C-alpha cells in the first residue's frame, strides 16, 4: 500500500486576481525617476504577490491539497545587478510571517522550482554566480516562511554544451562552489531533451541529492524505456531526507507536441505509473504540472474515482493497493 498526495503549481484557475507572479520590468523601473518611489513600487508588488500566495495556500487547504509549488517570481527584479543595494527582505517579513503562521497551523509540503536561468553546470563563472544568488533568494524566502530549506528547490541539471559527459562532470566540479546550506536545499530532476533518468541518478547518487523523477520527461527522452528497474535507485536517493519521495506528473499535449504539457492529466498514464510503484514506498507526493493547474488536479481526482484499488483519504490524497 502506498499513500499518494496530489499537488499543483503556483497558480489557481479558480481564484480571481490572485497571481503570485506579478512583475515589473527593469525598463519600467527606470522610467520612474524617483528611485525610492520605484523601489517602493517593487515592494508593493512583492507584498501583493506574497498576499496572493497566502490566498492560494488557503484555497489549497480548503480542498485538502497539502502539496503546493510556490512561485519563484514572488519578488520582481530581486536579483537584478542594478538593484544590488535593495535589501528586499526588510519589508517583507510581515507577509512571509503570515504564511509561516498558516503553514504552522496547516501542515503542508511546499517547495520551489527556480527557472531555467539557474544553471549550476555552466563553465561561465558569471552564470554560476547569478544562479547561486537566485538560490540564496529562495533560501531567504523559505526561512522567512519558517520552512526548513532542506530539499525544497528542484533544479534541472543544465545544458550539455555539445558534450554531455563533460557537462555532468562540470556540474560535479561546480558543486564544490555551492555553499553547503544551498546544497542541502536542492533536488535534481531528469529533463526531456538532455539529461535523462540515468544521468540524473548518476549525479544524485554521487552528490547525495534526492532525485525527482519526472515521468513525462522520461517518456519523452530516455536511453532505455524500462524505468521501473531504476525506481529503487530513485527511492534510495531520498533515504537521507525528512520528506517523502517526490515526483512530477504531466501528460503530452498530443503526439506531435509530445514534450509540451497538456491542460489535464491522462488518468491511464498516471495509473500506469502508480501500478508500477505501489508498495515500493510508504508515500509519494505527486506534483501535477498541467496548464489547468488546480482544475487539472480536481479533474484527475474525478477520473481516479472509477478505480476500485484506490481508497480516498480526503479530497486530494488516497491509498493504492
DSSP 269-286: HHHHHHHHHTTSSSEEEE
| Residues paired with 318 in a beta bridge | 4, 312
What integer is the mean pLDDT of 21-37? 94
According to the model, what pLDDT value does residue 238 have?
98
Sign of torsion over alpha carbons 26, 137, 117, 52:
negative
pTM of the model: 0.96
Could you report the per-residue pLDDT of 196-216, keeping only the tens digit for each?
999 999 999 999 999 999 999
According to the model, what pLDDT value does residue 294 have?
98
> In the chain, where does DSSP find H-type helix?
26-31, 35-62, 93-105, 125-144, 164-175, 180-183, 197-207, 215-220, 228-236, 267-277, 293-304
What is the rounded CA–CA span in Å between residue 318 and residue 238?
A: 21
Judge whether residue 235 has pLDDT over 90: yes
What is the rounded CA–CA span in Å between residue 105 and residue 246?
A: 23
Task: Name the one residue in this structure whose C-alpha cell is 481564484.
Answer: 15
The model's confidence at residue 10, banded by pLDDT at 50, 70 and 90, is very high
Could you report the per-residue pLDDT of 254-306, keeping only the tens digit for each?
999 999 999 999 999 999 999 999 999 999 999 999 999 999 999 999 999 99
For all residues of the chain together, what is the average pLDDT?
97
- DSSP assignment letter at 121: S
According to the model, what pLDDT value does residue 51 have?
98
The model's confidence at residue 148, banded by pLDDT at 50, 70 and 90, is very high
According to the model, what pLDDT value does residue 45 have?
97
| Residues paired with 214 in a beta bridge | 248
According to the model, what pLDDT value does residue 224 have?
85
The model's confidence at residue 123, banded by pLDDT at 50, 70 and 90, is very high
What integer is the mean pLDDT of 174-191? 98
Task: Name the one residue in this structure whose C-alpha cell is 533544479.
Answer: 155
According to the model, what pLDDT value does residue 227 have?
97
C-alpha closest to that of 195 among 240, 170, 151, 160:
160
The percentage of the chain sitting over the pLDDT mark of 70, rounded to a whole number, equals 100
The model's confidence at residue 225, banded by pLDDT at 50, 70 and 90, is confident
Amino acid at each position: 500500500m502506498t499513500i499518494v498526495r496530489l499537488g499543483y503549481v503556483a497558480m489557481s484557475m479558480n481564484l480571481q486576481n490572485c497571481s503570485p507572479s506579478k512583475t515589473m520590468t527593469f525598463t519600467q523601473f527606470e522610467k520612474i525617476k524617483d528611485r525610492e518611489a520605484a523601489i517602493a513600487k517593487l515592494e508593493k508588488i512583492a507584498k501583493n504577490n506574497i498576499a496572493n500566495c497566502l490566498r492560494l495556500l488557503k484555497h489549497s487547504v480548503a480542498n485538502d491539497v497539502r502539496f503546493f509549488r510556490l512561485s519563484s517570481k514572488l519578488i520582481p527584479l530581486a536579483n537584478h545587478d542594478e538593484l544590488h543595494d535593495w535589501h528586499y527582505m526588510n519589508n517583507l517579513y510581515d507577509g512571509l510571517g503570515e504564511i509561516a503562521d498558516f503553514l504552522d497551523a496547516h501542515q503542508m509540503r511546499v517547495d520551489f522550482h527556480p527557472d531555467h536561468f539557474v544553471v549550476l553546470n555552466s563553465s561561465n563563472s558569471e552564470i554560476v554566480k547569478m544562479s547561486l544568488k537566485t538560490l540564496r533568494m529562495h533560501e531567504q524566502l523559505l526561512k522567512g516562511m519558517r520552512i526548513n530549506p532542506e530539499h525544497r528547490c528542484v533544479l534541472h541539471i543544465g545544458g550539455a554544451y555539445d558534450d554531455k559527459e563533460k557537462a555532468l562532470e562540470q556540474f560535479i566540479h561546480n558543486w564544490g562552489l555551492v555553499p553547503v546550506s544551498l546544497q542541502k536545499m536542492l533536488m535534481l530532476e531528469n529533463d526531456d531533451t538532455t539529461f535523462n533518468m540515468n544521468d540524473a541518478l548518476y549525479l544524485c547518487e554521487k552528490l547525495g541529492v534526492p532525485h525527482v523523477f519526472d515521468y513525462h520527461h522520461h517518456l519523452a527522452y530516455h536511453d532505455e524505456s524500462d524505468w521501473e528497474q531504476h525506481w529503487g535507485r530513485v527511492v534510495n536517493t531520498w533515504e537521507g531526507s525528512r520528506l517523502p519521495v517526490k515526483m512530477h506528473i504531466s501528460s503530452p499535449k498530443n503526439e506531435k507536441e509530445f514534450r509540451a504539457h497538456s491542460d489535464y492529466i491522462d488518468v491511464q498514464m498516471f495509473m500506469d505509473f502508480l501500478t508500477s510503484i505501489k508498495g515500493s514506498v510508504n508515500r509519494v507526493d505527486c506534483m501535477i504540472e498541467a496548464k489547468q493547474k488546480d482544475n487539472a488536479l480536481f479533474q484527475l481526482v474525478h477520473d481516479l474515482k472509477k478505480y476500485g484499488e484506490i481508497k480516498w483519504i480526503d479530497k486530494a490524497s488516497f491509498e493504492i493497493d
